[in-house]
């Protein structure tokens, strides 16, 4: 009987060793992936001074060396100085940006695990319009000799928002508009009229009509 017990003990010990070896081997196959890069969102956010739409929640997504992606711990920072010398915004440890002064800047997320890896995203702090923007001048004309036009947008009794407003052309086959500059794209024979608008903080200007001729 003692011989049988010894054999059973030996077999049990061998089984335990085999299990331990398998566990070690498995850990070798499933190595924790390493962070390769960071992507920051949302893309190029605009927030506004004042009580409406004055914050934006940023987020970071890591890409790892095994091709997977997911959340990863980061530290946040925001840079950018407004025309008055103030920082354009503050940012909390969780990535919540709060507007302080108008201007443009950069949000940066730096990996807590690998500080050499970071990601950035531009951010704009614009005027919080309390009334619809006004475009000046109130009309325009494009032709082969005059293929660009410049407009300004303002709100709140004259606050310039030309650079930060969202500009839209009703017919990009005739012309596009960006930061108040209208640029002709019309091919030969594409004459006609179109409108442009400027929006900020959810408010949109009255449309301005532009005539294109001689293309």
Does an H or E element contain 26, and which?
Answer: helix 2-29
Does an H or E element contain 152, and which?
Answer: strand 152-155
> pTM value?
0.65
Q: Are strands 96-99 and 59-64 parallel, antiparallel or unpaired?
A: unpaired
pLDDT digits (tens, 9 = 90+) for 155-200: 998 889 998 899 999 999 999 999 999 999 988 778 899 999 999 9
pLDDT digits (tens, 9 = 90+) for 74-120: 999 999 998 788 999 999 999 999 999 989 999 999 999 999 999 99
Give 23's contacts (C-beta < 8 A, 6+ positions apart): none
The burial of 11, by beta-carbon neighbours within 10 Å (0-12 exposed, 13-18 middle, 19 or more buried), is given as: exposed
**CA distance linking residue 102 with residue 202, whole number of Å:** 17
């Amino acid at each position: 009987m003692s011989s049988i017990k010894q054999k059973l003990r030996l077999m049990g010990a061998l089984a335990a060793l085999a299990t331990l070896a398998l566990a070690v081997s498995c850990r070798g196959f499933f190595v924790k992936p390493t962070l390769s890069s960071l992507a920051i969102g949302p893309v190029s956010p605009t927030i506004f001074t004042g009580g409406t739409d004055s914050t934006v929640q940023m987020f970071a997504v890591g890409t790892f060396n095994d091709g997977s992606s997911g959340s990863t711990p980061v530290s946040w920072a925001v840079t950018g100085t407004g025309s008055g010398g103030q920082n354009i915004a503050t940012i909390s440890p969780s990535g919540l940006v709060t507007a302080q002064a108008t201007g443009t800047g950069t949000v940066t997320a730096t990996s807590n695990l690998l500080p050499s890896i970071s990601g950035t995203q531009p951010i704009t702090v614009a005027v919080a319009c309390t009334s619809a923007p006004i475009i000046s001048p109130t009309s325009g004309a494009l032709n082969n000799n005059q293929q660009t036009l410049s407009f300004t947008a303002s709100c709140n009794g004259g606050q310039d928002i030309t650079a930060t407003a969202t500009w839209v052309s009703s017919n990009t086959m005739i012309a596009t508009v960006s930061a108040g500059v209208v640029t002709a794209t019309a091919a030969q024979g594409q004459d006609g009229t179109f409108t442009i608008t400027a929006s900020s903080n959810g408010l949109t200007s009255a449309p301005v009509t532009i005539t294109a001729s001689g293309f």
